[in-house]
Amino acid sequence: MKIWIRGAGDLATGIASRLYRSGHQLLMTELPVPLTVRRTVALSRAVYEQHAEVEDMSGELVHSIEEAIAIQKTGKIAIIIEEPEVILEEYQPEVVVDAILAKRNLGTKISWAPFVVGVGPGFTAGVDCHCVVETKRGHTLGDVIWRGTPIPNTGVPGNVGGFTIERLIKATADGVMEPKAQIGDIVEKGQVVAVTGGKPVYAKMSGLVRGMLQPGVEVQENLKIGDIDARCEKKNCFLISDKARSIGGGVLEAVTQFERIRGQYAIVVLAAGSGSRFGGRKLQEQKDGKQMYQYMLDKMEGFQAFPTYIVTGAPEIAQAAEACKMKVVENKKPEEGISRSVKLGLETCIKEHPDIKGILFSVCDQPDLTFATMLSLIRCAMLRPGQIICTGKDGKTGNPVFWDKKYFPELLELTGDTGGKQVMCKHQDEIVVIETKSEELKDIDYRSDLG
């Protein structure tokens, strides 16, 4: 797949190594002046050296997307200094990995590509990206988080060789960086290892200089400019770290899972109810300043990788859905019950995508339902094929519900206003329930439900 990695520092390069060796095409973006401390194992070095070798990878600085694509065809990784808007428009990545490691999100959105991965603190899975990979050292390093956030930044570096904060070499003043020790040198505690803004920088521990910024770069006081390793193994200066490899493994796991599910399943949103219990036009009702149907349409921006349909009889909803690139299926007879909407959506999807493996059916009156919950059903369907996957709370099932294709014939025979519950009753042993917060399961039937 075409993958864009934001950043080309040492951790981003570790991520690139996993993806590159798995056969993906990589484009990495960097700043005009990279501030990578472990530059001997970072492809960001290509920005000022034109070319960078890290283990078995070769990175080349390019100046256009056309040049980047040509470089990729030679088996190399393209490094470019370019704005996100240009990358998105001209490169059109299938996957975006934000590996800037800024401890905050610098603008990445879940809508940027069919699959977006955040790396480290600052991202929320299901909100600004599809998933986040944990970067904090420990048992969860490299874990893929599909809901919520990773461990917050503590400001204290991880323990390496029994040292934490002492490992860091920091600028003592604003100004030009002048290294006095080179990567691979052995230094003693108290030794001058650099000069910044004319002021000396002293080592806080003895060990091997594992990283150091390039000479002549402008730095600010307290900026990390180097790194000392107590283990004193020089070869480690030229090898991707265990941490970078773990994080890269997490990203590869996420991307591989995306590869397995993209285009294999569809989503059908049911939005054709008459709203009789509510008193009419329920889905157009305002909730917290937004029309209720819009809550579902907002979630669709994260489902670019799947065919998406909406069954409705309301022109206003249909128009808004088309703007979200959803396929509109018109239901002119909502009084015939939800079963009609299910069958219309299913028939249209099967006709246009005969090889689809399953469909996630969701209603449009659950405004607190999260994107993460919807995606969890599809991910579970990949792992548990041939079953009915649904949300639930304390054993009670709810919406949305994912249906494997083997149930399609029974769904096409539905009648009345009970929907898929008729089929679920026949297959109790084939239902997998994903426990969900009760507020997500709440649907709006009456005006009083708006709270």
DSSP symbol at 344: H
Q: What residue segments make up the domains of the chain, in order of their start?
A: 2-156+241-259, 165-230, 264-450
pTM to 2 decimal places:
0.94
pLDDT, tens digit, 9 for 90 and up, residues 90-148: 999 999 999 999 999 999 999 999 999 999 999 999 999 999 999 999 999 999 999 99
What's the pLDDT score for residue 287? 86
Q: Which CATH number fits domain 264-450: 3.90.76.10, 3.90.550.10, 3.20.20.370, 3.60.20.30?
A: 3.90.550.10
Structure tokens at 30: 């960097």
CB-based contact 106:99 (threshold 8 Å): no
What's the pLDDT score for residue 282? 83
- For residue 268, pLDDT over 70 is answered with yes
Q: Tell me the pLDDT of the chain averaged across its residues.
A: 94
What's the pLDDT score for residue 446? 67
pLDDT, tens digit, 9 for 90 and up, residues 135-157: 999 999 999 999 999 999 877 77
Residue 146 identity (one-letter amino acid): W
CB-based contact 237:48 (threshold 8 Å): no
- If one counts every other C-beta atom within 10 angstroms of the C-beta of residue 137, the result is 15
Distance CA 214, CA 34 (A): 9
What is the SS3 assignment for 243? helix
Maximum Cα interatomic distance, the chain, rounded to a whole number of Å: 82
- For residue 276, pLDDT over 70 is answered with no
- Mean pLDDT (whole number) for 230-242: 93
pLDDT, tens digit, 9 for 90 and up, residues 391-424: 999 888 999 999 999 999 999 999 888 789 889 9
Structure tokens at 403: 């249906």
- For residue 279, pLDDT over 80 is answered with no
What's the pLDDT score for residue 159? 79
pLDDT, tens digit, 9 for 90 and up, residues 36-90: 999 999 999 999 999 999 999 999 999 999 999 999 999 999 999 999 999 999 9
165-230, CATH topology level:
OB fold (Dihydrolipoamide Acetyltransferase, E2P) (2.40.50)
- Best CA proximity match to 27, nearest among 39, 38, 16: 16
**Through-space distance between the first and last CA atoms of the chain, rounded to whole angstroms:** 45
Structure tokens at 112: 């940027």
| C-alpha triplet 305, 311, 314: angle, nearest 5° | 125
Handedness of CA 346, 256, 58, 225 (dihedral sign): positive
What's the pLDDT score for residue 356? 98
pLDDT, tens digit, 9 for 90 and up, residues 339-353: 999 999 999 999 999
CB-based contact 63:95 (threshold 8 Å): no
Q: Which is more confident, 444 or 225? A: 225
Handedness of CA 253, 255, 256, 262 (dihedral sign): positive
**CATH code for the structural domain at 2-156+241-259:** 3.40.50
Name every residue whose Cβ is closer than 8 Å to that of residue 292 and which is 6 or more positions away in sequence: 282, 283, 284, 285, 286, 364, 365, 367, 444
DSSP symbol at 280: S
Residue 157 identity (one-letter amino acid): P
Distance CA 363, CA 293 (A): 10
- Mean pLDDT (whole number) for 421-442: 94
**Matching fold, domains 165-230 and 264-450:** no
Percent of the chain with pLDDT over 90: 87
CB-based contact 4:95 (threshold 8 Å): yes
How far from 351 is each of 113, 325, 412, CA to CA, in Å?
Answer: 26, 18, 13
- If one counts every other C-beta atom within 10 angstroms of the C-beta of residue 146, the result is 17
133 phi/psi in degrees, rounded to 5: -105, 130
- For residue 280, pLDDT over 90 is answered with no
What's the pLDDT score for residue 451? 65
What's the pLDDT score for residue 275? 64
- For residue 252, pLDDT over 70 is answered with yes
- For residue 274, pLDDT over 70 is answered with no
